[in-house]
Amino acid sequence: MPNKIIKDGTITDDQWLLLDQDATDVPDGPVIVPLSLWESEKEALAGRKALGIWLNSDESPERIASDLENFDLVAINFPVFVDGRGFSYGRDLREKYGYQGEVRAIGEFIRDQLFFLKRCGFNAFALTGVDLEPALETFNDFSDSYQSAIDQPEPYFKRH
């Protein structure tokens, strides 16, 4: 049975296969490859249908900035949930590089971070270890925000 993830505010089946950091074989079907594999096999992988890439928290999206058109999905790994670099990576992908595909959080992030992750441009969440249904409620923790972010580029002071 496929894993369940949260995507665009609903719970759905995950169609993607996440490859390990040290994977060398790339099976058929939608795969999310590690950055190292992309960098070493760029020519073989480019043009492949349904290709995703994942970045670790010490791998800035800057490294794939000129390759983004190859990916339907960019996943950001949170090796521990308090490593907040991924929040900036999400914004970079959307704001700096104009990436329109799926931006997915993977790894050890927790449900209490969903609201902020969404604000930073993430639209998919491979959240593990908790029931997804109640986790959906956290997207409504706050009805509004002060700052400019991806979900609401206009800060509060410009809207009132």
Partner 1 sequence: MYIYNQHDQQLVDERVAQYRGQTERYLAGDISDDQFLPLRLQNGLYIQRLAPMLRIAIPYGTFNSQQMRKLAHISRHYDKGYGHFSTRQNIQLNWPQLEEVPDILAELAEVQMHAIQTSGNCIRNTTTDQFAGAAADELEDPRPYCEIVRKWSTFHPEFAFLPRKFKIAFCASTADRAAIQMHDIGIEVIHNVDGETGFRILVGGGLGRTPVIGTEIVDYLPKQHLITYLEAILRVYNQLGRRDNKYKARIKILVRAMGIEAFREKVEQEWAILKDGPSTLTEEEFERSKSYFRSPEYINIDNDSADQALEKQAQQDPAFGNWMKRNVDAHQAPGYAIVTLSLKTTGYAPGDVSDVQMEAVADMADQFSFGEIRASHQQNLVLAHVQKDQLLALWQQAKVHGFATPNINYLTDMICCPGGDFCALANAKSLPIADAIQRKFDDLDYMYDLGEIDLNISGCMNACGHHHIGHIGILGVDKKGKEFYQISLGGSQDRDASLGKILGPSFSQADIPDTIEKILDIYVSLRIDGESFLDTYRRVGLAPYKESVYAK
Contact residues toward partner 1 (CB under 8 A) are: 60, 81-85, 87-89, 91, 95-96, 110, 112-113, 115-117, 119-120, 130, 138, 141-149, 153-158, 160
Q: Which is nearer to partner 1, 42 or 146 (CB)?
A: 146
46 vs 156, beta carbon nearer partner 1 = 156
Least spacing, CB of residue 144 vs partner 1, in Å:
6
Kindly report the backbone phi and psi dihedral angles of residue 131, in degrees, each rounded to the nearest multiple of 5, phi listed first: -65, 135
CB 106 within 8 A of CB 18: yes
Smallest gap from Cβ 160 to partner 1, in A, equals 7
Q: How far is CA 146 from the centre of its chain?
A: 23
Q: Closest approach of Cβ 155 to partner 1, in Å? A: 6
Tell me how far, at minimum, the Cβ of 87 lies from partner 1, in Å. Answer: 5
For the bound state, the minimum distance from the C-beta of residue 34 to partner 1, rounded and expressed in Å, comes to 20
Residue 135, token pair as written in the block? 């986790």
Please name which of 27, 71, 66, 20 lies closest in space to residue 46, comparing C-alpha atoms. 71
**What residue type is 143 in one-letter code?**
S
Contact 102, 74 (CB under 8 A): yes
By the 10 Å C-beta count (0-12 exposed, 13-18 middle, 19+ buried), 103 is classed as: buried
Nearer to partner 1, 29 or 156 (CB): 156
CA distance linking residue 149 with residue 34, whole number of Å:
27
